[in-house]
């Protein structure tokens, strides 16, 4: 969890500007927190995608945001384990899996090359996937046709924790909040001077 304190002197300046503009201080602070929390979700997804070859929607799928209100003045951005599988890890289909005559190749890390699992498959033959498997990758447990086991990659949460992204991100969140509040100070000064009507 990342906890950020708001600078007291900056809040005092915001209170003065808001009072002059005839606006609501809680609404302004809540708005700043909301913008930062939404940006934090996007940033978390990008940090994960910088490490592994996930699509944007997949990298952000398990990131939830509880937005700030004027009553709470807090926001929670949480990254949970993927609930679609028992392990919480994502299937290899999310990592560019491709079947050929020998097996399936895929690429998880952006820094490394493609890996291969000989004997793995996505369907009856290369270029023909089984629709009900949705592109997931399987391998046989033994020499018989069944049972088969789905092959997994990594989870977004695992990537985030393994690379210890919360520490550096806390500094970004803090800087973003300072910028958002400063923007609202300037906006309310302009409102008070009649230069902005919103």
One digit per residue, pLDDT tens: the chain, 198 residues?
Answer: 667 777 889 999 999 999 999 999 999 999 999 999 999 999 999 999 999 999 999 999 999 999 888 898 888 899 998 888 888 899 999 999 999 999 999 999 999 999 999 999 998 777 777 778 888 999 999 888 889 999 999 999 999 999 999 889 999 999 999 999 999 999 999 999 989 887
Angle subtended at Cα 38 by Cα 36 and Cα 41, rounded to the nearest 5 degrees: 110
How far is the CA of 189 from the CAs of 119, 122, 176, 177, 197, in angstroms? 67, 61, 20, 18, 11
pLDDT score, position 1: 63
pLDDT score, position 55: 96
Angle subtended at Cα 1 by Cα 36 and Cα 85, rounded to the nearest 5 degrees: 100
pLDDT score, position 82: 86
HSE-CB of 50 using CA atoms within 13 angstroms = 9
């Amino acid at each position: 969890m990342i906890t950020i304190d708001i600078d007291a002197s900056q809040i005092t300046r915001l209170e003065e500007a808001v009072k002059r503009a005839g606006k609501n201080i809680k609404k302004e602070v809540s708005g700043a927190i909301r913008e930062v929390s939404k940006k934090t979700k996007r940033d978390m997804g990008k940090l994960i995608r910088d490490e592994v070859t996930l699509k944007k929607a997949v990298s952000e799928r398990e990131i939830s945001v509880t937005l700030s209100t004027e009553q709470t003045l807090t926001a929670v951005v949480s990254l949970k384990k993927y609930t679609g599988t028992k392990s919480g890890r994502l299937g290899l289909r999310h990592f560019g899996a491709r079947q050929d005559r020998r097996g399936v190749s895929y690429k998880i890390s952006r820094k490394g090359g493609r890996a291969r699992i000989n004997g793995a498959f996505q369907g009856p033959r290369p270029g023909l996937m089984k629709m009900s498997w949705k592109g997931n990758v399987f391998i046989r447990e033994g020499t018989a046709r069944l049972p088969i086991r789905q092959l997994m990659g990594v989870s977004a949460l695992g990537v985030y924790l393994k690379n210890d992204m919360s520490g550096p991100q806390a500094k970004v969140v803090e800087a973003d909040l300072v910028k958002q509040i400063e923007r609202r100070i300037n906006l309310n000064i302009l409102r008070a001077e009649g230069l902005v009507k919103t």
